[in-house]
Amino acid sequence: MPINIPLLLPEQLLPIAGVSLGTAEAGIKKPDHKDLLVIDLDDGAKVAGVFTQNRFCAAPVIVAKQHLAENSIRALVVNTGNANAGTGNSGLEHAHTTCTALAEILGCNAQQILPFSTGVIMEPLPVKAIVNGLPAAVANLKQNNWFDAAHAILTTDIVPKAVSKQIQLNGQTITISGIAKGSGMIRPNMATMLGFIATDAAISQTLLQEVVHYAANHSFNRITVDGDTSTNDAFMLIATGRANHAEICEKKSAEFTQLQEAITTVAGTLAQMIVRDGEGATKFITIQVDAGKNPDECHKVAYAIAHSPLVKTAFFASDPNLGRILAAIGYAGIDDLNVNDIQLYLDDVLVAENGGRAPGYIEEDGQRIMNQPEITVRVVLNRGSAAATVWTCDFSYDYVRINAEYRS
């Protein structure tokens, strides 16, 4: 069950001027299930994005990258139930067909459409069902539709992931709304399975691209459920410029920093929601590595802990078998690591130091923390001033069940 995700209410999600969303039941995989989303953008909206680095990246990722690089974007289209990945040339044709069909309805060029797909890999995209579903999705377009949009992009997710935030920029209210999906095959390497954030702020294309990278690196690129990097990861950031303020063109301005932090907060909330709804997850784990020589080695240690099946099953069992964390630190790949320098904390409890169990540590303290639904593992390397944080979840029977049953 999802860990501490509050119930989402439609009225909590704020419309963004210049962005309309429409959903439909296209019958891609299951009947009676919203599986198609169109996001329509007003003229002048800017879009920036980051995509998976998986070499087997999906056909829609290839097409979306091309279209984004060369065109002003008019709409995004997302289907669930099929990833259109590992589908070769016919997959590319299907992605183009989808774009062409939507462009005809909206009266724009196919190159102004960004396609996204999520679902099973290496099965042909049911492109006819998608094309047939597009008119209903377009007919459903409205600004106040973020709640339905959050539902329409889910696959194995249990709960929808969406959040809105407002900030004041020079006395002007700026709104940011975002949705994301993802629950398994989560170890994003540029972005999560799918994330879409829009704002009415006005910002130059160059700076928007900087913001999307920064936000991804501090949110979606810091989570892992199972270490499997998806073929379809994409995170899109839309700025419609419809708020009434001068366009942000200066990286050193207070406005840029404020907007970037606000968007990163929204992205971070969505990223954490993905982990909280991780397949089979029962615990939300923050792994914080401090005092490393550089960020890279801090990430290595954090991910070694976050990916260890033995650490993850110990969290599932609420078993303070914390030597497994030491073993993961030890094989993280830092060749000159002196294990006697390290401190390991579970929340505020010092567990290990000087290469072994801390003298003041008692199992009852470890057990008390392990029983919690949210736990912070803190590793202090004591060899520098770099740090890194990664969010992950535990590994349960249900993870195996979900992934043994998915598709069949």
- The set of catalytic residues is 192
Q: Which of 252, 256, 315 is nearest to 285 (CA)?
A: 315
d(CA 147, CA 153): 11
Q: Which of 174, 185, 289, 390 binds a second copy (CB under 8 A)?
A: 185
Helix (H, G, I), strand (E, B) or coil at 292: strand
Question: Least distance (Å) from a second copy to the CB of residue 228?
Answer: 5
Q: Where are the alpha helices (DSSP H) in 140-204?
A: 146-152
Size of the site for a second copy (CB under 8 A): 70
Q: Which of 30, 42, 44, 53 binds a second copy (CB under 8 A)?
A: 53
Complete edge-to-edge strand list for the sheet that includes strand 161-169: 46-51, 234-239, 194-199, 172-181, 161-169
State residue 67 phi and psi, 5-degree precision: -65, -40
Which of these segments, 162-170, 214-222, 260-268, 302-310, binds a second copy (CB under 8 A)?
Answer: 302-310
Q: Which of 354, 360, 362, 371 binds a second copy (CB under 8 A)?
A: 354
Only one residue has tokens 């349960």, namely: 396
- CA 96-98-104 angle, to 5 degrees, is 100
Q: Which of 158, 291, 317, 350 binds a second copy (CB under 8 A)?
A: 317
Q: Is 4 near a second copy (CB under 8 A)?
A: no
d(CA 318, CA 300): 24
Q: Is 360 near a second copy (CB under 8 A)?
A: no
Between 114 and 121, whose beta carbon lies closer to a second copy? 121
Q: Which of 14, 27, 65, 227 binds a second copy (CB under 8 A)?
A: 227
Q: Which of 151, 159, 149, 121 is nearest to 279 (CA)?
A: 159
The site map against a second copy for 101-120 (x = CB under 8 A) is -------------------x
Q: Is 339 near a second copy (CB under 8 A)?
A: yes
What contacts 245, CB < 8 A, 6 or more positions away? Answer: 169, 170, 172, 174, 201, 202, 255
Between 34 and 181, whose beta carbon lies closer to a second copy? 181
State residue 374 phi and psi, 5-degree precision: -130, 130
Question: Least distance (Å) from a second copy to the CB of residue 54?
Answer: 4
Which of these segments, 4-12, 98-106, 132-140, 307-315, binds a second copy (CB under 8 A)?
Answer: 307-315
Q: Are 312 and 275 in contact (CB under 8 A)?
A: no
Which of these segments, 43-51, 201-209, 223-231, 378-386, binds a second copy (CB under 8 A)?
Answer: 223-231
Q: Is 308 near a second copy (CB under 8 A)?
A: yes
Question: Least distance (Å) from a second copy to the CB of residue 338?
Answer: 8
Count of C-beta atoms within a 10 Å radius of residue 135: 14
Only one residue has tokens 């579970």, namely: 346
Residues in region 244-263 near a second copy by CB under 8 A:
none
Q: Which amino acid is at 203?
A: I
C-alpha distances out from residue 165 to 22, 267, 269, 293, 395, Å = 21, 11, 11, 35, 32
Compute the Cα dihedral for 39, 40, 41, 46 and give only its sign.
positive
Q: Is 373 near a second copy (CB under 8 A)?
A: no
Residues in region 124-183 near a second copy by CB under 8 A:
124
Question: Least distance (Å) from a second copy to the CB of residue 93?
Answer: 11
Q: Footprint of a second copy on this chain (CB under 8 A)?
A: 53-57, 83, 85-91, 120-124, 184-185, 187, 189, 226-231, 307-310, 313-314, 316-317, 319, 321-324, 326-332, 334-335, 337, 339-340, 352, 354-357, 395-397, 399-401, 403-408
